[in-house]
Amino acid sequence: MSEIKSQEEQKVIFEKIRKDILRPVMSISYGYKLWVGILLTIIAVAVWAYYYQLRDGLMVTAMRDYVSWGMYIATFVFFVATALVGMLISAVVGLLGKKWIIPISRIAEMIALAFVMMAGIIIVVDMGRPDRLLNVFIHGRFQSPIFWDITVVTTYVTISMLLLFLPLLPDLGIMRNHLKKDIPAWQWNIYNILSLGWVGTPNQYKILHRTIRVLLVLIIPVALAIHTVTSWLSAATLRAGWDSTIFGPYYVSGAFVAGSGAVLIAMYFIRKAYKLEEYITDESFNMMGKLLVLVSLVYLYFNLNEFLVPGYKMKTADAVHLHTLFVGKYAFMFWATQIGGLFLPIFLSLFRKMRKPFPMMLIGIAVVLGAWFKRFIIIIPTLIHAHLPIQNVPQEFHEYNPTGIEITITIGVIAISVLIFTILVKLFPVIPIWETAHEKGVDIEKNL
């Protein structure tokens, strides 16, 4: 907080922040409509593709007996990974008392919520008989990592919602108080109900701060659990490439990289579209760039362990797997992912000149693309080499080339998550008004 300002000064500053941040909520631009239109079109095509999958079964995908986890599960892991950024930004960096995350913490939370929700959906998409979904719960085994995964994903969705909603309360109060004339009545009613009668009394603030703090602490183990358990889905088997003790931290560190990339992309486009250069500053990108380097270096360290140690021993099955990745069928995808999605982003982000908004956005795209392909590389090549080879299997078991329907549905589900995010950033202020104002020396408890 800066030096104590006079009442008048505070009012002016607060007015400006409120207007800047709430401007996008009050109007819908042509670009936004176009973007939503594109997303809805993609989703409509995907729904049409899903209809075929539902009608004809999973035969319409390229998944067969050997590769029974394909693009969908790779995307599931990608969603869970990216969703972890909510916890990284708000909890880890936030609890460390870093102020630079205030303008981007809500973006991170919104990404987390949108992606983790779709992580649940894509599992249903991967089911051949989604009508039997209930059986997962009726016949679930406490011993199964899949059961744990359902538990942690559900828990993470709930906590993410709360962590998005709680810091929104003061902003909802502000919107209810100031936007009545500027927005349609239904929209104002939503804010009115959601604000829970927030008036910003010291008592309300006290409860709010304490609850957020408890949840921020709680989300760290839950988030670690969600991705560690996701890694156990693979690591609890004896398959080459999965049978690894460091799979938990390997996934978690990879998740931080993917999430940071996603936040960088979102930051860039929101700042551009909503003209929030004053709030999401170049410094924000600079710091996010540094954070990306940090988490990427950790991820690089785990990558080194994951490939060097089995590569040194070259156990029969591991050797086959590593050959497939390094020089075999998946060599191009593997090296493109490792270089384009990990080495280059680390190297480029080391330079201050690269830690500017536009280059960071491009690096973010490379990182996110790399993250998705990395999940593909973790899941599929391992499955192609059967654990128990059978004789005379059809050739199609030995390869996995996703079908058009599969790709369409996957893109569609990703589009839904982006659409959820798009709606969230439109409906609610992307930057916490009250925290920003508080940082600029406004006594938020008085100026509502």
Q: Which parts of this chain interact with another protein (CB under 8 A)?
A: 139-143, 148, 151, 155, 158-159, 162, 165-166, 169, 196-199, 201, 203-204, 207-208, 210-211, 214-215, 218, 222
| Residue with smaller CB distance to another protein, 120 or 140 | 140
Q: Which of 151, 194, 168, 154 is nearest to 110 (CA)?
A: 168
Please return the burial class of 178, using the count of CB atoms within 10 Å of its CB with bins 0-12, 13-18 and 19+. Answer: middle
Please write down the HEC assignment for all residues of 161-184.
Answer: HHHHHCCHHHHHHHHHHHCCCCCC
Concatenated DSSP letters of 262-297: HHHHHHHHHHHHHT-TTTS-HHHHHHHHHHHHHHHH
Task: Decide if 447 contacts 14 (C-beta within 8 A).
Answer: yes
Calpha distance 80→12 (Å, rounded): 42
Phi, psi of 284 (to 5 degrees): -60, -45
| Residue with smaller CB distance to another protein, 139 or 353 | 139
Closest approach, Cβ 212 to another protein, in A, equals 9
| Residue with smaller CB distance to another protein, 70 or 94 | 94
Which residue's structure tokens are 């987390």? 112
Closest approach, Cβ 36 to another protein, in A, equals 30
Closest approach, Cβ 199 to another protein, in A, equals 5
| Residue with smaller CB distance to another protein, 122 or 444 | 444
| Residue with smaller CB distance to another protein, 81 or 219 | 219
Closest approach, Cβ 210 to another protein, in A, equals 8
Q: Which two tokens stand for residue 403?
A: 């079908």
Q: What is the DSSP letter of 139?
A: S
Concatenated DSSP letters of 52-87: HHHHHGGGGSS--SS--S-HHHHHHHHHHHHHTHHI
Strands (E), 211-346: none
Helix/strand/coil percentages in the chain, nearest 5: 75, 0, 25
- 144 dihedral zone (left: phi>0; alpha: psi -120 to 50; beta): beta
Closest approach, Cβ 182 to another protein, in A, equals 22
Closest approach, Cβ 158 to another protein, in A, equals 6
Pseudo-torsion of CA 439, 441, 447, 448, nearest 10°?
-10
| Residue with smaller CB distance to another protein, 243 or 318 | 243
Closest approach, Cβ 437 to another protein, in A, equals 19
| Residue with smaller CB distance to another protein, 248 or 359 | 248
Closest approach, Cβ 200 to another protein, in A, equals 10
Task: Decide if 330 contacts 376 (C-beta within 8 A).
Answer: no
Handedness of CA 351, 268, 365, 293 (dihedral sign): positive
Closest approach, Cβ 120 to another protein, in A, equals 17
Q: 3-state class of 393 per DSSP?
A: coil
Q: Which two tokens stand for residue 32?
A: 């936004």
Q: Which of 103, 433, 45 is nearest to 270 (CA)?
A: 103
| Residue with smaller CB distance to another protein, 37 or 197 | 197
Closest approach, Cβ 172 to another protein, in A, equals 11
Distances 158 to 117, 122, 152, 201, 220 between C-alpha atoms, Å: 10, 18, 10, 26, 14
| Residue with smaller CB distance to another protein, 38 or 217 | 217
| Residue with smaller CB distance to another protein, 83 or 360 | 83
| Residue with smaller CB distance to another protein, 13 or 80 | 80
Closest approach, Cβ 221 to another protein, in A, equals 8
Calpha distance 127→37 (Å, rounded): 28
Closest approach, Cβ 433 to another protein, in A, equals 17
| Residue with smaller CB distance to another protein, 162 or 319 | 162
Q: Which of 90, 41, 334, 326 is nearest to 213 (CA)?
A: 90
State the maximum Cα–Cα separation within the chain, in Å, rounded to a whole number. 83
